Structure 1
């Protein structure tokens, strides 16, 4: 059994939510029964509606307490409001104990089934999480081994043949070490990003960021490594702000541009555009490379692409790991991401969006 731990603030919100659900549903049932009295003199529908209300409360609240409390409240309401003499409690009515027991048993059974379903769902999510983590570690271990071997071989070649190697050969080996080291640093940054959003079920600490500044920071980092590739940006005329972890979203944009540069093969230009849509901000990264193999599009964000797949790899770097990190970051922001090829073989397009309630921004401003 997996128990979800909540901090005091989360626990308080959960209790308040359960109370509001219970009061709202029982109040709604009372109002409906009162309304139906104007259309029918019979009151046989009243117990049935309150049993339904108890079932709904038990289904949509956590634990047994609220379902049991709603069952007790239902019995009292039926007795006090809908049983003659009205608006008086009368516990001597024939069948009253049986009604109470039936409603209480219904609440307990539904609450137990609902709690069990929620626990099973939590276990399933944990299993999926561990499976994804295992796949990521397998992919990372393969991807890291190759550049480390290359660095070791280049360093050994320089040390063992220092006098025999010419200056240009030494420079080429050192440049290889530098490039492989940079790639390893980016890989470690991706792994740290995954740890940051998954560790101890931590909630992201988001703040309202100016989107143009986040995009500009990502472009600056990217062009330090890929100065030969042109990057064009398209922003709305008005200032756009969105709640996000700016460091992580910047990492997403850097990863997407690096994938375009490395795996696009023929990429010479990347375009980043931002659109402000109702209740969300849409980011789009397009390139003029060779596009993405349609066969891997359905699994491109799962982090399971083989480095032997020519369409997904440059022989030593897996596209899937970086994109898996991107998807994890965006989903942690309650957003989503999709990849597609543009028409007429004009390259690949990856879009993601972040939720943005403009009124919340105005309140905080």
Structure 2
């Protein structure tokens, strides 16, 4: 299935590629005309058209327009820019070798640039496939463990007589907490699947960053009332192009990781600020920090803590962080984590314009 989805068409046609081909080739012709008006020599045309073939191959898909540009370049140099002008002349000394060499160079350039782009696409698809495979391996335990706890709690309620109201309430609360954990795992699964779907386009709308932070902090406080969350936003209104639901999920995952894995966390600072053409979101806690050896693999989806305070292996933060990274990258942003003098900081940057998003 994966191989079928990644079958490459060598001669695809799109109007976008067609207009790119027409634009670049027309510019090459006009440039050669201007150069011939300024200089009577004929040697400039070949390198100009080779450059045109390179650019067309780089910015179009497949071999179609690159090959077409190479053939038309050889014809154009002979017919327009080699004496006698505006007619073919195959009797020139060295012509067959010269122009066959140019055609060969043009076709090789076209082939190399096309293969490089194909390899890059395959590399990206391979990374997505690896991320999905790591996710499936990691999530099997994350789903099985809370389900076992839910079944155990409900079985105890059904099969054990004489339980006090306090005991019944404790079992029901455990079942509810495990169910909430399952919901968050499923949300992460859906999000990372969406990030891996090349047909899915994010719907980014300018959102007020302070509203996103305020809503995220409010929801977090309901689940972790013992942890104080300080929200810091700039004085001026900061509008950030984003999919608000996905960015809220990123912030929620990071806040939950701080509360769950910081061990001694009592305060979290949630902030956003403008950094040139980007908005930088930051989550700082006063917990135990991140072991240095674990920092390099936090975001790759393979990370699992070997120990947790409760000894419960299901409290894994690798999946949540790989989802966060996938969402931020889909927005054209970057993400990082580091230790502070006390506690840890997770931060990510989102571009404030589509131009910066494409540059990253």
Partners in 2 of 1:57 and 1:245 — Cα distance?
34
2:101 matches 1:102 = yes
Alpha-carbon displacement from aligned partner over 1:208-254 (angstroms, at most 9, x marks no partner) = 21111111221122112111111111111111111111100011111
Q: Which of 242, 245, 248 is the matching residue for 1:247?
A: 245
4+ residue segments displaced more than 6 Å: none
Structure 2 residue aligned with 1:341: 339
Q: Which of 319, 328, 331 is the matching residue for 1:330?
A: 328
Alpha-carbon displacement from aligned partner over 1:121-149 (angstroms, at most 9, x marks no partner) = 32332222222111111111111111111
Equivalent residues of 1:63, 1:111 under 8 A apart: no
Structure 1 residue aligned with 2:61: 62
Structure 2 residue aligned with 1:352: 348
- Please, which runs of 5 or more residues in structure 2 have no aligned partner? none
Partners in 2 of 1:99 and 1:170 — Cα distance?
90
SS of equivalent residue, structure 1 residue 354 = strand
- Number of residue pairs the alignment of both structures matches: 349
SS of equivalent residue, structure 1 residue 316 = coil
- Please, which runs of 5 or more residues in structure 1 have no aligned partner? 361-365
Written as runs of structure 1 = structure 2, the 5 A alignment for 1:36-115 is 37=39, 43-44=42-43, 46-79=45-78, 82-85=81-84, 88-94=86-92, 95-96=94-95, 98-115=97-114
Equivalent residues of 2:206, 2:242 under 8 A apart: yes
2:120 matches 1:121 = yes
Structure 1 residue aligned with 2:220: 222
After TM superposition, the score normalised by the length of structure 2 is 0.85
Equivalent residues of 2:261, 2:308 under 8 A apart: no
Partners in 1 of 2:309 and 2:215 — Cα distance?
29
Alpha-carbon displacement from aligned partner over 1:299-328 (angstroms, at most 9, x marks no partner) = 101121235344998532101111111000
Equivalent residues of 1:341, 1:347 under 8 A apart: yes
Structure 2 residue aligned with 1:201: 199
Question: Please, what is the CA RMSD of the aligned residues?
Answer: 3.1
Structure 2 residue aligned with 1:234: 232
Partners in 2 of 1:279 and 1:313 — Cα distance?
43
Taking structure 1 as reference, are residues 55 and 347 closer, same or farther at Cα in structure 2, changes over 3 Å only? same
Partners in 2 of 1:358 and 1:115 — Cα distance?
26
Equivalent residues of 1:21, 1:57 under 8 A apart: yes
After TM superposition, the score normalised by the length of structure 1 is 0.84
2:173 matches 1:171 = no
Partners in 2 of 1:253 and 1:18 — Cα distance?
44
